Amino acid sequence: MQAISITPRSAAPKVTLTSAAAAKVAELIAREDDDAMALRLGVRPGGCSGFSYELELDSRVDDSDIVNTFDGVNLVVDSQSMAKVNGAEIDYRDTLQGAGFHINNPNVERACGCGNSFS
């Protein structure tokens, strides 16, 4: 007999969102006045190191998307991107040098100085 392993959608998240990032996303969603909005993380070919991150507010969720909720904010990752961001953490920082989302991705072998491109 063969064992089958099924990971439910409510399993431990493979990409996490910090409290600071969730608060900023919630603020941005409130401005859009659309409760169906979520933060979508994707990885696309491009950038100086081979791949680049794509963060956007999106109200659509496909059947193959991985969805997790952090402090009331949904984080959506498409299944193809998950292989490149598994274990990553999305944070929001507001410092003297600037404000923005930062992705700490343990899968990165090489990154560009801009912080948006990796391989």
6 — pLDDT class (breaks 50, 70, 90): very low
* Per-residue pLDDT at 110 exceeds 80: no
- Please report, rounded to a whole number, the percentage of residues in the chain having pLDDT higher than 70: 78
User: For residue 66, what are its two tokens?
Assistant: 């991985």
101 — pLDDT class (breaks 50, 70, 90): very high
Task: Compute the mean pLDDT over every residue in the chain, rounded to the nearest whole number.
Answer: 83
What average pLDDT does the segment 14-24 reach? 95
CATH code for the domain of 47 = 2.60.300.12
Q: Is residue 113 part of a domain?
A: yes
CA distance 22 to 108: 23
Q: Which of 5-14, 21-30, 60-69, 72-81 has the lowest mean pLDDT?
A: 5-14
* Per-residue pLDDT at 66 exceeds 90: yes
Q: Provide the number of structural domains found in the chain.
A: 1
Q: Is residue 62 part of a domain?
A: yes
Count of beta carbons in the 10 Å neighbourhood of residue 113? 8
Count of beta carbons in the 10 Å neighbourhood of residue 88? 22
What average pLDDT does the segment 103-119 reach? 68
Global pTM value: 0.80
Q: Is residue 6 part of a domain?
A: no
Give exposure, 5-21, as e/b (b: 16+ Cβ within 10 Å).
Answer: eeeeeeeebebbbbeeb
Please answer whether residues 68 and 15 qualify as being in contact, where contact means their C-beta atoms are separated by less than 8 angstroms.
yes
